Structures are given as C-alpha cells and as structure tokens.
C-alpha cells in the first residue's frame, strides 16, 4: 500500500496490509516495511477500534480510524467493493480498477483536500481477490 497526500510538505505512507472480513465487520492491519504491525483496525456494527502499540482508540467509523492511522480517511468500506471489481465511489475517492486483474488497484481523491492517491498491490491471484468472512471479536 502506498498513500500519497498533496500537503505542504507532501506526505507519503507505505505499508503492507492484511484485510479480512466484510465492509460491515472486519480487520485491517498495517505493517511497516520492517515487518512490525503499526496499526490494527477492527470494526463491527456500532464499534470501530484502532490499536497502535499498547494504545487503543475507539471511533464512530473505520474511516475515522484510518484518518488517525494514515493522516487521511481511507474508503475502507468501498475497498471491499473495489476488490470485487465494483467501482463504488466514496468520500470523494474515484477508483481505477483497470489493472485489478493484474493485482493492482489505484484510487484518487481530489475533494476534500488534500489531494490523495492510494495504490495497492495485491499478492493474491485476481480470481481469489475478495473479502473473507470473519467473526468480530
């Protein structure tokens, strides 16, 4: 995952990620290039939590948690549609699914500021891309 924000100065966030579950109940782990889990988000109806190190934060939505973890609200719930090849727009994010079959996904957000670009490289074959059901804890 690469996230670039057009701020002054520009910001960039790079991580490996593991996404499990569904748009309604799931888990997203962000892993540093050195292999450490830097953030873990879990969500279920009425509950969204972010764990960073020994600290846990609660919020109204997983998007709010993603803003805390990465500096901008990511369209986590729309991401599940994108992985299925559905071009859902959310929060100003416009997906480019033209390379999904090659394991690449891009999305761009012009509004609200700052301009943001998200690039994902998936390490699973395109026919297996899609959410898996998990039981929220």
CATH number at residue 19: 2.50.20.10
Answer whether 44's CB lies under 8 Å from 65's CB.
Answer: no
Q: How far apart (Å, rounded) are the C-alpha atoms in residues 53 and 97?
A: 33
Is residue 75 assigned to a domain? Answer: yes
Q: Which domain holds residue 123?
A: 2-128
pLDDT value of residue 124: 63
pLDDT at 128 over 70: no
Answer whether 65's CB lies under 8 Å from 58's CB.
Answer: no
Name the domain count of the chain: 1
Is residue 114 assigned to a domain? Answer: yes
| Predicted TM-score of the model (pTM) | 0.84
| Mean pLDDT of the region 94-122 | 95
Is residue 135 assigned to a domain? Answer: no
Is residue 45 assigned to a domain? Answer: yes
> Of 130, 109, 122, nearest to 3 (Cα)?
109
pLDDT value of residue 106: 97
Is residue 40 assigned to a domain? Answer: yes
């Amino acid at each position: 995952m690469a996230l670039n924000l057009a701020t002054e100065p520009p910001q960039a966030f790079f991580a490996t990620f593991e996404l499990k579950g569904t748009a309604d109940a799931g888990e997203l782990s962000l892993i540093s290039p050195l292999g450490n889990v830097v953030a873990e988000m879990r969500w279920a109806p009425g509950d969204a939590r972010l764990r960073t190190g020994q600290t846990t934060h609660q919020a109204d939505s997983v998007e709010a948690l993603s803003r805390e973890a990465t500096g901008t609200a990511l369209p986590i719930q729309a991401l599940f549609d994108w992985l299925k090849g559905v071009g859902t727009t959310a929060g100003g994010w416009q997906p480019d699914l033209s390379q999904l079959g090659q394991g690449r996904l891009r999305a761009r957000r012009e509004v609200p500021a700052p301009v943001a670009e998200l690039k994902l490289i998936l390490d699973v074959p395109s026919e297996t891309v899609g959410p898996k059901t998990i039981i929220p804890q």
